[in-house]
């Protein structure tokens, strides 16, 4: 008897029909494909990004989809006043169901060369913006007794990489906030989970001087012997944004091809 084997290279769909999603850094290396996957799953996505070229590329890609449900706002997440103003306008239109705190900057140099001001800049984009977004969206989620918050942390929180002190600190903060928010928001039907991507070949990887050597290092450490792709992130984000995870909260899911196991 012939069996139909499901294709494993496709983005799987958990329905997100009419879910309204706020996605920071939506136009980035991992954000681009994930945004398209969320749109295909029926969601309305409002992206926040500050890179006009990447925004234009995402908008062009989204045009090929049957319905236009993408809105990208160009805002610098480190500008608290501008972000708060944008959010208050966005939530006035309609509340959000899902928040994905994904935008990040990742300057790299030895710890003693970072100024405190540089630490604060990383904190502003990678953590403070997430807090501001959560504060703005929480009342809407709470009023409808349903919400999903997904914080994007990093494999670097567990070790393995040098010269990323402010970034690693910020990714640890997101894991801490995931747990704290999960405990506080669970009673309102809101789940809060993090993902920790492994090593994906996006802009973030360009900080490594020898690409081939680095790629081999990654494969040697992963259980799955292929490089990660944006669709691997998209699949897990879709799952965490869906109804399927109503009983999973406070967790950090390692999306790294079986590298970190705890
Ligand atoms: N790519 C990887 O291998 C990897 C590994 C571990 C964790 N991550 C995490 O995954 C997430 C996405 O990473 P990526 O690879 O897509 O990175 P990326 O740099 O391609 O995307 C980040 C996006 O955030 C936007 N952004 C940065 N600063 C901003 C600001 N001040 N205001 C508004 N937008 C801003 C950028 O324009 C960009 O589109 C990040 O949180 C990153 O830390 C990535």
Give me the CATH number covering residue 90.
3.40.50.720
Active site residues: 167
Give a yes or no: residue 5 inside a domain.
no
| pLDDT computed for residue 1 by the predictor | 47
Give a yes or no: residue 164 inside a domain.
yes
**Number of domain units in the chain:** 1
Using 70 as the pLDDT threshold, list the residues of the chain that sit under it.
1-13
Give a yes or no: residue 138 inside a domain.
yes
Beta carbon of 230 within 6 Å of any ligand 1 atom: no
Give a yes or no: residue 142 inside a domain.
yes
Give the distance (Å) from ligand 1 centre to CA of residue 187: 31
Domain housing 223: 20-255
| pLDDT computed for residue 208 by the predictor | 77
Give a yes or no: residue 116 inside a domain.
yes
Give a yes or no: residue 13 inside a domain.
no
Give a yes or no: residue 99 inside a domain.
yes
Beta carbon of 54 within 6 Å of any ligand 1 atom: yes
Give a yes or no: residue 96 inside a domain.
yes
| pLDDT computed for residue 3 by the predictor | 58
DSSP string, the chain: ---PPPPTTSPP----TT-EEEEETTTSHHHHHHHHHHHHTT-EEEEEE--HHHHHHHHHHHHTSSS--EEEEE--TT-HHHHHHHHHHHHHH---SEEEE-------S-GGG--HHHHHHHHIIIIIHHHHHHHHHHHHHHHHT-EEEEEE--GGGGS---S-HHHHHHHHHHHHHHHHHHHHHGGGTEEEEEEEE---SSGGGGGSS-HHHHHHHHHHH-SS-S---HHHHHHHHHHHHSGGGTT--S-EEEESSS----
């Amino acid at each position: 008897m012939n069996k139909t084997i499901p294709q494993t290279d496709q983005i799987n769909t958990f329905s997100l029909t009419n879910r309204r999603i706020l996605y920071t850094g939506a136009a980035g290396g991992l954000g681009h494909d994930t945004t398209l996957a969320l749109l295909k799953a029926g969601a309305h996505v409002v992206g926040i990004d500050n890179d006009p070229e990447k925004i234009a590329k995402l908008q062009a890609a989204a045009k090929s989809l049957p319905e236009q449900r993408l809105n990208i706002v160009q805002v610098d997440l480190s500008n608290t006043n501008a972000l708060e103003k944008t959010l208050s306008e966005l939530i006035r239109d309609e509340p959000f169901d899902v928040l994905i705190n994904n935008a990040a900057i990742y300057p790299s140099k030895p710890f003693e060369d970072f100024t405190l001001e540089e630490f604060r800049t990383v904190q502003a984009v990678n953590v403070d913006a997430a807090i501001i977004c959560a504060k703005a969206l929480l009342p809407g989620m709470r009023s409808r007794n349903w919400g999903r918050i997904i914080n994007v942390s990093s494999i670097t929180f567990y070790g393995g990489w040098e010269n990323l002190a402010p970034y690693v600190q910020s990714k640890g903060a997101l894991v801490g906030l995931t747990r704290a928010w999960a405990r506080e928001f669970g009673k309102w039907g809101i789940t809060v989970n993090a993902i920790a991507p492994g090593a994906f070949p996006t802009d973030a990887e360009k900080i490594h001087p020898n690409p081939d050597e680095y790629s081999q290092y990654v494969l040697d450490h992963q259980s799955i012997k292929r490089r990660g792709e944006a669709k691997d992130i998209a699949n897990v984000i879709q799952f965490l944004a869906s109804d399927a995870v109503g009983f999973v909260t406070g967790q950090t899911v390692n999306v790294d091809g079986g590298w970190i196991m705890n």
